[in-house]
């Protein structure tokens, strides 16, 4: 029977470890400060930011949400980021993506001070990741490493395959696995014989945003499967096909009009893997937990409190 890796439990462990660190900062200097910039009214982004602000509040982190209109121009948003860079009490700046089309997202992310870049997206911090130097790490990849370590899944000496080469997940998680002494292969849409390469993996990370693309032919028996995908199925036929006519999933679809599925075939993952992350409840909870960890670490560095 495959082991289900409980992301909610590990998230709570990390939050419990952060609370005394936040209290120590508050006692010696001040609480950590996090500002989320949410442009416009993207429903998914509003949910993400609300959850991030709530988690910060629960931990005792001073959180603030700034909501410019979706008509904002690049220069105006750059000026706002400059103001946040200059505020001493702000340790972390989160600019929620996506941004409106008229805004140059790359210029905005480059404008965030690297020491306050708690998303770990700034090229300076990416360079530190490559060189294995201390700096904020991209939250989802850092969360994946925590899932593996806290589940006592060996990484050193193992074959790891990452399917997906995004700057946010694929590339940084490959580097983090490499730093943990795994032998790493990155796959993408041009990879020849994708199933054959995936079957070499002791640790398989699926992060390409394609519903249930990784099927049984891609999974080595007993492998650890980390499913980063979060795809919404809006077709009842797709739900029936992917979940093998599961009465529970079909009932959920009929009630809500959609069902979540990862990038890995959920039935094949449970049957063939040795351990796996469910969707939802696997990787997702760790992303916000690692954002909070990055914010606390930023405050500790900036305030000289260890």
- Considering the domain architecture, whether residues 185 and 257 belong to the same structural domain is answered as yes
Q: Is the pLDDT of residue 123 over 90?
A: yes
Q: Is residue 298 part of a domain?
A: no
- Cα separations in angstroms, 247 against 4, 38, 212, 237, 271: 21, 38, 19, 13, 19
Query: Of these residues, 96, 146, 202, 249, which one is catalytic?
Result: 96
> What mean pLDDT do residues 174-192 have?
97
- Considering the domain architecture, whether residues 163 and 244 belong to the same structural domain is answered as yes
Q: What pLDDT is attached to residue 1?
A: 82
Q: Is residue 6 part of a domain?
A: no
Residues sharing a CB contact under 8 Å with residue 106, sequence separation 6 or more, in sequence order: none
- Considering the domain architecture, whether residues 37 and 85 belong to the same structural domain is answered as yes
Query: Of these residues, 15, 91, 117, 119, which one is catalytic?
Result: 119
Strands 275-276 and 224-227: parallel
- Considering the domain architecture, whether residues 212 and 246 belong to the same structural domain is answered as yes
The C-alpha atoms of residue 79 and residue 111 are separated, in whole angstroms, by: 9
Number of domains making up the chain: 2
The C-alpha atoms of residue 26 and residue 302 are separated, in whole angstroms, by: 13
Q: Is residue 297 part of a domain?
A: no
168: domain CATH number?
A: 3.40.50.720
Q: Is residue 291 part of a domain?
A: no
Q: How many CB atoms lie within 10 A of CB 256?
A: 10
Q: Is residue 255 part of a domain?
A: yes
- Considering the domain architecture, whether residues 36 and 97 belong to the same structural domain is answered as yes
Q: Is 119 a catalytic residue?
A: yes
Give the 3-state secondary structure of residue 246.
coil
Q: Is 106 a catalytic residue?
A: no
Higher pLDDT, 48 or 14: 14
- Considering the domain architecture, whether residues 145 and 99 belong to the same structural domain is answered as no
- Considering the domain architecture, whether residues 82 and 176 belong to the same structural domain is answered as no
Q: Is 96 a catalytic residue?
A: yes
Q: What pLDDT is attached to residue 44?
A: 83
Contact 231, 204 (CB under 8 A): no
Tokens encoding 177: 């696995």
- Considering the domain architecture, whether residues 59 and 191 belong to the same structural domain is answered as no
- Considering the domain architecture, whether residues 153 and 274 belong to the same structural domain is answered as yes
Q: Is residue 271 part of a domain?
A: yes
Q: Print the domain residue range for 103.
A: 29-114
Q: Is residue 253 part of a domain?
A: yes
78: domain CATH number?
A: 3.40.50.10860
Q: Is the pLDDT of residue 195 over 90?
A: yes
Encode pLDDT of 215-262 as tens digits: 999 999 999 999 999 999 999 999 999 999 999 999 999 999 999 999
pTM over 0.75: yes
The C-alpha atoms of residue 95 and residue 86 are separated, in whole angstroms, by: 16
Encode pLDDT of 250-267 as tens digits: 999 999 999 999 999 999
Encode pLDDT of 72-112 as tens digits: 999 999 999 999 999 999 999 999 999 999 999 999 999 99
The C-alpha atoms of residue 97 and residue 46 are separated, in whole angstroms, by: 11
Contact 64, 56 (CB under 8 A): no
Where residue 41 falls among pLDDT bands split at 50, 70, 90? confident
Q: Is residue 293 part of a domain?
A: no
Mean confidence (pLDDT) of the chain: 97
- Considering the domain architecture, whether residues 49 and 172 belong to the same structural domain is answered as no
- Considering the domain architecture, whether residues 171 and 266 belong to the same structural domain is answered as yes
276 φ, ψ (degrees, to nearest 5): -155, 160
Calculate what percentage of the chain has a pLDDT beyond 90: 96
């Amino acid at each position: 029977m495959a082991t289900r890796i409980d992301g909610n439990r590990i998230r709570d462990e990390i939050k419990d470890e952060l609370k005394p660190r936040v209290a120590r900062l508050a006692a010696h200097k001040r609480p950590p400060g996090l500002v989320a910039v949410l442009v416009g009214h993207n429903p998914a982004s509003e949910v993400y930011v609300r959850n991030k602000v709530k988690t910060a509040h629960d931990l005792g982190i001073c959180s603030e949400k700034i909501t410019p209109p979706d008509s904002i121009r690049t220069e105006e948003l750059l000026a706002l980021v400059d103001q946040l860079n200059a505020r001493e009490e702000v340790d972390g700046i989160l600019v929620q993506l996506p941004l409106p089309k008229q805004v140059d997202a790359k210029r905005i992310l480059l404008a965030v001070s690297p020491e306050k870049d708690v998303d770990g997206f700034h090229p300076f911090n990416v360079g530190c990741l490559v060189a294995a130097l201390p700096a904020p790490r991209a939250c989802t990849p850092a969360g994946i490493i925590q899932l593996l370590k806290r589940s006592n899944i060996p990484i050193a000496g193992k074959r790891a395959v990452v399917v997906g080469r995004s700057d946010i997940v694929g590339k940084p998680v490959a580097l983090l696995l490499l730093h943990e002494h795994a032998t790493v292969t990155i796959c993408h849409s041009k990879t020849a014989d994708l199933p054959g390469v995936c079957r070499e993996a002791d640790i398989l990370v699926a992060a390409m945003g394609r519903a249930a693309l990784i099927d049984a032919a891609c999974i080595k028996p007993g492998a650890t499967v980390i499913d980063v995908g979060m795809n919404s199925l809006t077709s009842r036929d797709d739900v029936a096909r992917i979940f093998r006519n599961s009465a529970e999933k079909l009932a959920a679809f009929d009630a809500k009009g959609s069902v979540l599925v990862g990038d890995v075939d959920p039935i094949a993952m449970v049957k063939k893997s040795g351990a796996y992350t469910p969707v939802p409840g696997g990787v997702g909870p760790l992303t916000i937990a690692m954002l909070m960890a990055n914010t606390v670490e930023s405050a500790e560095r900036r305030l000289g409190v260890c």
